[in-house]
Amino acid sequence: MLLKVEGMSAGYSGVDVIRELDLTIDKGEVVALLGPNGAGKTTTLLALAGVLAPTSGRVLYRDAPLRGALHQRARRGVSYISEQGSVFSRLTTLANLRLGPGPVADALALFPELEPLLKRRGGLLSGGEQRMLALARSLAGRPDLLLVDELSLGLAPLIVRRLLERLRAAADEAGTAVLIVEQHASQVLAVSDRGYVLRRGRLSLSGTGAELLASPEALQAAYLGAGADASSG
């Protein structure tokens, strides 16, 4: 198992907002982290990225504790794309790519759409272009574990599909393990091996992507609370 999280709790100012989370991700797996607003999805990623210190539990990465700040985790192959975008708005697309962990040519091979935008400042790119830039930069570094928050916020469905397909390809071709937070459950589950649903800081449902897609009632119940602590797999 690449990442094994056991009983992880974390929060802000001494108040835990995620409690006793257990989750695993294997090499080459795409795992969706779903749940309603305020459920604790971003908090979970922040704790795994090293931005926020867990208050209890264990996080094992390649069977060793995952510790330190984000830049230290980056050296161990962990990449994090935040909700806010992770693009430097005053730097050009090219400069943004050069700051990344991998070759610019690799980033452009993943997203040729960025080629005509190389001289444009990051802040002037559209929302979708900024997400492409962030994803291209991250994937060019061939991360072993990619943590990505709200890849598709406010984006057109076709771009969302393109981004999700690139993630799926990174998992299949480079063995990248992806933990992805998404609001659009059905779209992300279609490319996910497994999914977890968080509700009020706890896991309320988990299963394979296919299982979760096949039972929209269970998924809805997990979001709304009726199916708390149920598990389909």
User: What are the strands, taking DSSP E only, across the chain?
Assistant: 3-12, 15-25, 30-34, 56-61, 64-65, 78-81, 145-149, 177-181, 194-199, 202-208
Is 35 one of the binding residues for ligand ATP (CB under 6 A)? yes
Query: Residue 180: what are its φ and ψ, rounded to 5°?
Result: -120, 130
Which residue, 41 or 131, has its beta carbon nearer to Mg ion? 41
Which residue, 34 or 117, has its beta carbon nearer to Mg ion? 34
Is 86 one of the binding residues for Mg ion (CB under 5 A)? no
Q: Which of Mg ion, ligand ATP, none binds 35 (CB below 5-8 Å, type-dependent)?
A: ligand ATP
We find the least distance from the C-beta atom of residue 195 to Mg ion, in angstroms, to be 16
- By CB under 5 A, the residues from 23 to 82 that bind Mg ion are 41-42
We find the least distance from the C-beta atom of residue 12 to ligand ATP, in angstroms, to be 3
Contact with ligand ATP (CB under 6 A) among 2, 8, 23, 43: 43
How far apart CA 139 and CA 131 sit, in angstroms, is 12
Contact 160, 132 (CB under 8 A): no
Contact with ligand ATP (CB under 6 A) among 4, 6, 16, 17: 17
Is 192 one of the binding residues for Mg ion (CB under 5 A)? no
Please tell me the count of residues contacting Mg ion according to CB under 5 A. Answer: 2
Is 12 one of the binding residues for ligand ATP (CB under 6 A)? yes
Instruction: Select from 21-29, 39-47, 88-96, 111-119 the region that touches ligand ATP (CB under 6 A).
Output: 39-47
- By CB under 6 A, the residues from 54 to 73 that bind ligand ATP are none
Specify the amino acid at residue 91: L
User: What are the strands, taking DSSP E only, across 26-171?
Assistant: 30-34, 56-61, 64-65, 78-81, 145-149
- By CB under 5 A, the residues from 88 to 127 that bind Mg ion are none
Contact 104, 94 (CB under 8 A): yes
Structure token pair of residue 76:
């161990």
Is 152 one of the binding residues for Mg ion (CB under 5 A)? no
Structure token pair of residue 229:
């602590």
We find the least distance from the C-beta atom of residue 54 to ligand ATP, in angstroms, to be 13
State the DSSP H helix or E strand holding residue 163, giving kind and residue range, or none if neither.
helix 157-174
Residue whose entry in the numeric block shows the structure tokens 């094994």: 4
Count the neighbouring beta carbons within 10 Å of the beta carbon of residue 43: 23
Chain contacts with Mg ion (rule: CB under 5 A): 41-42
